[in-house]
């Protein structure tokens, strides 16, 4: 077992432990202060019985967003680490560091596809949503390492996205195009929760789920969550993005329009 996986397992146990309410409140308060978390859209500190509950906090009120099918919204809160066009079946994890899509999602993509990488820091909202109406045809859990996915680690490690644990959702959008939605694990993210397949969160092995009748997920609907911060990558066809590297985005924000 790689040491980062071991650290993540230890941290997972600690984060799920419910201390007495007074101690837990102080732990939650320290975490919020350390990472400068804004709880305006969330419940009170006292309502989270564990640190994991605070990590995976849900919005008290659903955010509004453009429901037009020609508009694609951000699937999460985070920072855009990179975005661009897939070339030679490659995408970019960060400037100067490319990785192969065949190893990443077990598919080949042409240059009509674009990629966007969203980094979720410890301060971010850790649930992720559908950026457009999707029909899920296949879900693949790929076991792997739990290396950090922050900027320093992305610059240091070759093919990091292909090494780390991840869940790949192979979907179709409203326009009939294949749409890939990938949740990547990282240090302290031993669990990735996918709502339509509840067992994934506890699995420690590769597994594929295929659906004869695709699972429909509406735009804005919650897909799952990370039990700590990590990365979401979307790979899409015929969408024109308006994003800049290191730009902060929020779930529900318009990030692309469909190219007719």
Are 217 and 172 within one domain? yes
* pLDDT confidence of residue 76: 97
Kindly list the catalytic residues. 77, 129, 230
* pLDDT confidence of residue 2: 62
Are 15 and 120 within one domain? no
Tens place of pLDDT per residue across the chain (260 aa): 565 565 566 666 777 888 999 999 999 999 999 999 999 999 999 999 999 999 999 999 989 999 999 999 999 999 999 999 999 999 999 888 899 999 999 999 988 999 999 999 989 999 999 999 999 999 999 999 888 888 888 988 899 999 999 999 999 999 999 999 999 998 765 689 999 999 999 888 999 999 999 999 999 999 999 987 689 999 999 999 999 989 999 999 999 999 87
User: What values do phi and psi take at 58, rounded to 5?
Assistant: -100, 160
Q: Where are the alpha helices (DSSP H) in 94-193?
A: 101-105, 151-156, 160-163
Are 24 and 85 within one domain? no
Are 50 and 79 within one domain? no
- If one counts the domains in the chain, the total is 2
* Coil, strand or helix at 45: helix
Are 22 and 105 within one domain? no
What are the distances in angstroms from CA 181 to CA 15, 96, 185? 27, 23, 13
Token readout for 112 is 């009509």
User: Residue 136's closest CA among 159, 100, 184, 169?
Assistant: 169
* Coil, strand or helix at 27: helix
Whether the predicted model's global pTM rises above the 0.85 cut: yes
* Cα–Cα distance measured from residue 82 to residue 56, given in angstroms and rounded to the nearest whole number: 25
Contact 160, 94 (CB under 8 A): no
Predicted confidence (pLDDT) per residue in 100-117, tens digit: 999 999 999 988 999 999
* Coil, strand or helix at 208: strand
Are 216 and 177 within one domain? yes
- The domain in which residue 28 lies consists of 3-56
Residue 175 lies in a domain: yes
* pLDDT confidence of residue 96: 80
Residue 61 lies in a domain: no
Token readout for 127 is 């649930």
């Amino acid at each position: 077992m790689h040491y980062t996986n071991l650290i993540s397992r230890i941290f997972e146990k600690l984060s799920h432990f419910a201390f007495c309410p007074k101690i837990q409140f102080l732990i939650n308060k320290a975490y919020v202060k350390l990472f400068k978390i804004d709880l305006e859209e969330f419940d009170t500190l006292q309502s989270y019985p564990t640190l994991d509950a605070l990590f995976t906090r849900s919005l008290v009120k659903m955010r509004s967003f453009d429901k037009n099918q020609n508009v694609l919204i951000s699937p999460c809160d985070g920072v855009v680490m990179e975005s661009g066009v897939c070339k030679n079946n490659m995408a970019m994890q960060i400037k100067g560091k490319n990785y192969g899509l065949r190893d990443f999602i077990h598919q080949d993509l042409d240059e009509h596809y674009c990629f966007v990488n969203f980094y979720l820091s410890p301060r971010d909202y850790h649930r992720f949503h559908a950026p457009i109406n999707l029909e899920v045809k296949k879900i693949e859990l790929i076991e792997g390492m739990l290396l950090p996915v922050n900027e320093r680690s992305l610059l240091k490690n070759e093919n990091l996205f292909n090494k780390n644990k991840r869940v790949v959702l192979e979907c179709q959008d409203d326009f009939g195009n294949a749409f890939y939605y990938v949740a990547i694990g990282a240090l302290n993210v031993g669990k990735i929760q996918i709502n339509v397949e509840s067992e994934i969160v506890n699995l420690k092995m590769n597994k594929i789920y295929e659906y004869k009748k695709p699972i429909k997920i509406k735009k804005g609907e919650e897909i799952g969550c990370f039990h700590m911060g990590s990365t979401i990558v979307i790979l899409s066809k015929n969408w024109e993005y308006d994003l800049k590297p290191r730009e902060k985005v929020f779930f529900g924000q318009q990030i692309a329009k469909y190219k007719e």
